[in-house]
Amino acid sequence: MKVLMAGHGGPIRKDDEIFIEQLRSRFPDITFEAGGSNEEQLTQVVDAEVYHGWPQREVFLAAKNMKWLHVPGTGIDDGIFGTPELSDSDIIVTNCRGPHAPPMADHVMGMILTIAHRLREQWEDQQNHYWDTNKYNNLLGLNGKTIGILAAGDIGSQIAKRAHGFGMNVYAVDKHPDVVKERNNGNIPEGIDHLWNLNKLDEMLEISDWFVIAAPLTPETLGIIDSRRIGLMKNGAYFILISRGGIADEQALIEALKSGKLAGAAIDSFVTEPLPTTSPFWDMENVIVSPHASALTPEMWEGRRKIFEENLRRYLTNEPFLYVCDKKAGF
């Protein structure tokens, strides 16, 4: 049996090579081939039974023997939107739920605190050896403020737990609140004060001082935060996007930030990545841009490797997989 280890959408990295050697040692009867460029993968994938990575459409179509595709991340939108044939195939798709959520939630709170306590300005003052206490007599408190979270899955639940620790009132909307509770032994996840169905998204936007997008990108969430919904938000509210670009209308967001409708935003994921140098987001003083890097801790990488290794063991012993994705739903 052959497993093509294609990394993250292209040639593998050094840490991937180390992981492949570990897999070869544990599973000596399996052939693990390191993925090359997309052009090289067109040949490599032909006889591969398992693919680890995000295949380009032409690579996926070149596969003749693929039975299982493992995404070494959580979002499967690249495959669903870019390769419609995948949704209609019998190929099982699994992902790596879990390890990304704590660092992404940490990143959200870091963004919120950076905005609320004007930490960027204070860093600039430090660099300039400038001291002015009175300049910062209007910092924002978080205690008692309302945070609204779109999607109460792994990321949203971790954000809620942290926000609750800061004394915030935590609301969340989710398409499947019953599933969220089921995954939490029948309870609302810790830190969420109110868990609503997606049909109350507008209501949540109207009451949120801080609004966080933690949803996967699916056909249903694509563009769900449009200009109308941005218009529903409180004047002077803050906007955080941590999961996927395309869920919010970027142009509408830019206009709301320029007009003062929204006081600020922090964004870790964009429709086009890398973010074009011509994007207005780069130069907006009330925006924090981070390069889709919120989850990238050593613990996340190790957690993802452990999930794949365990799923490979289960595949070989015909046991149920961890984290099978719904290809039609897109997550």
Specify the residue for token string 């897999």: 23
3 state DSSP class of 103: helix
Within 8 A by CB and 6+ apart from 166, the residues are 109, 142, 143
Within 8 A by CB and 6+ apart from 122, the residues are 136
Query: Among 118, 194, 292, 314, which one carries the catalytic annotation?
Result: 292
Residue 273 known to be catalytic: yes
Burial category of 177 from C-beta neighbours within 10 Å (exposed 0-12, middle 13-18, buried 19 and up):
middle
DSSP state of 10: S
Question: Cis omega (within 30 of 0) on the bond before 219?
Answer: no
The DSSP H or E segment spanning 238 is strand 237-241
User: What are the strands of the beta sheet with 68-70, ordered from one edge?
Assistant: 31-34, 2-5, 50-52, 68-70, 92-94
Please report how the helices 101-116 and 298-316 are oriented relative to each other, as an axis angle in degrees rounded to 10: 160
Residue 13 known to be catalytic: no
- CA–CA dist 58, 129 (Å, integer): 55
Please report how the helices 14-26 and 298-316 are oriented relative to each other, as an axis angle in degrees rounded to 10: 30
Residue 183 known to be catalytic: no
- CA–CA dist 100, 92 (Å, integer): 22
Query: Among 100, 162, 244, 304, which one carries the catalytic annotation?
Result: 244
Please report how the helices 101-116 and 119-127 are oriented relative to each other, as an axis angle in degrees rounded to 10: 70
Please report how the helices 154-165 and 101-116 are oriented relative to each other, as an axis angle in degrees rounded to 10: 40
Chain length of the chain: 331
Token digits of residue 127: 């660099």
Residues with catalytic roles:
244, 273, 292
